[in-house]
Amino acid sequence: MIVTRFAPSPTGRLHVGNLRTALHNWLLARKGDEDGAGRFLLRIDDTDAERSREEYVDAIREDLAWLGLEPDGEFRQSERLDLYEAAFEKLKAAGRVYPAYETAQELELKRKIALGRGKPPIYDRAALSLTEEERAAKEAEGISPHWRFKLDHEEFIDWEDAVRGPVKFDPATLSDPVIRRADGSWLYMLPSVVDDLNMQVTDVLRGEDHVSNTAVQVQMFGALHDAGLGPDHCDIVDPFPRFGHTALLVGKEGKLSKRLGSLSCDALREQGMEPEAILSLLARLGTSQPVEPIADRQVLIDTFDLETFGRAPAKFDDAELERLNAAIVHQLDFAEVEDRLPDGIDAAGWHAIRPNLSHVGEAAEWWRLVTGPIDSCEFSEDDREYLAQAADALEWSDNPWGDLTSALKERTGRKGKALFLPLRQALTGMDHGPDMGELLPLIGEQEARARLDKAAAG
Ligand code: GLU
């Protein structure tokens, strides 16, 4: 059974980078449905009470629902603090966490000194060598400790990454991470591991910015397991999930971070992007599979394959999203867009204008060609005469456009552009646009005749 999770912090709107991670996890879980029921969980990482906002929690749910990536379960870290406390106590008893008293300024100074000496800024574990008296003295001064997880330097860290292949870390090259602040609040690192264990997450799929967190967390999984929080705590034999770290998303011009506001889910929605266009792009970006407008999710699920993911940064290109969007819009059935269309457009109307749209929101503009008023065009005298003949030749049938153009071809000897363009201009006020064979029946006989007459009159 596959269990994945998407774990956003509700400190802002979801953007393409988050959406891509959510999608990968959703796809993996849905692919897992082939062997039973896969589960895609939403975990709200809201331990940072100051930065977390309820409005963002709602927005995350809405965005996922809009994209059709509904979770099979939702959890909030702020409601699970007892679990973290219990895990913390076990780790404390096992000697895997220790109190530290340095202030932020002291730590910054240590960093600078290390860097100045050309050394990596790794925490020097000074707090580990404090005596009982020294600790007591700190506490007597009213300094509450923050807490660090003690990495086991004897235990080399390695895992088989689903995207990056074998990954190795020497724990001595990492700082013992702070897992709890002096005020008792939790940092990301430990709660995430406790939850992954507790929710029996089988696959942790996230961006490569988490690789060094994973190194630390691999030891945390082991430590919790050894401390009795593995199989007993939750019914699994192997406490380690599989890990996969996808290459980051970059813009054409480099980092995406500055542009994330305009690449938030709500901004894309506002720009008229279809969920299927966004998903088509994000599912395949950074893989060896071609990015194509795929409206059928099952195809995305069936073809999702972590083996096809590359290590090079995945390039997000707005123009590619636009192209996909237009292609997806051209595939949408009337029933899928009906409630977003202006009144009056029926299935035939949608079918006629659909090929001209890049976004569904443009439908109203094109529908105006049917309902009018249309722009008036300038015609030569010759063309005006021709259009008068057209008004005369217009007969209403199942195929008024076909009949009209055949009749005019015969009567006037015109062909090609000379035959079609003045008619299109007179009937729509434009040089290009929807297929006239589909459009003319929608305009209707009376209105068509009136437009031809008007154009002929000049
Ligand atoms: N809240 C973390 C983030 O948004 C979750 C990372 C993870 O997937 O473990 O980066």
In the chain, where the domains are located: 250-329, 336-367, 381-457
Q: Check if 422 has its Cβ closer than 6 Å to any atom of ligand 1.
A: no
Q: What's the gap in Å between 262 CA and the centre of ligand 1?
A: 21
Query: Tens of pLDDT along 426-453?
Result: 999 999 999 999 999 999 999 999 999 9
In this prediction, residue 231 carries a pLDDT of: 45
- Give the span between the Cα atoms of 224 and 230, in whole angstroms: 6
Tell how far CA 215 is from the center of its chain: 26
Q: Is the domain defined by 250-329 classed in CATH 1.10.1160.10?
A: yes
Q: Check if 24 has its Cβ closer than 6 Å to any atom of ligand 1.
A: no
Task: Please answer whether residues 257 and 250 qualify as being in contact, where contact means their C-beta atoms are separated by less than 8 angstroms.
Answer: no
What residues pair up with 15 in beta bridges, in sequence order?
264
Query: Tens of pLDDT along 21-38?
Result: 999 999 999 999 887 789
What average pLDDT score do residues 170-197 get?
96
In this prediction, residue 80 carries a pLDDT of: 96
Q: Provide the pLDDT confidence category of residue 252 given band limits of 50, 70 and 90.
A: confident
Q: Check if 14 has its Cβ closer than 6 Å to any atom of ligand 1.
A: no
CATH entry, 381-457, from 3.40.50.1000, 1.10.10.60, 1.10.10.350, 3.40.462.40: 1.10.10.350
- Give the span between the Cα atoms of 394 and 404, in whole angstroms: 6
- Give the span between the Cα atoms of 440 and 352, in whole angstroms: 10
Q: Which of 394, 398, 374 is closest to 455 using CA atoms?
A: 374
- Ligand 1 atom with the smallest distance to the CA of 7 is 5
Q: Check if 8 has its Cβ closer than 6 Å to any atom of ligand 1.
A: yes
Q: What's the gap in Å between 201 CA and the centre of ligand 1?
A: 14
> Which residue lies with its CA nearest to atom 10 of ligand 1?
8
Q: In the structure encoding, which two tokens stand for residue 168, read together?
A: 């190795």
In this prediction, residue 260 carries a pLDDT of: 78
Q: Check if 400 has its Cβ closer than 6 Å to any atom of ligand 1.
A: no
One DSSP character per residue, 255-297 reads -SGGGGGGGBHHHHHHTT--HHHHHHHHHHTTBSSPP-----H
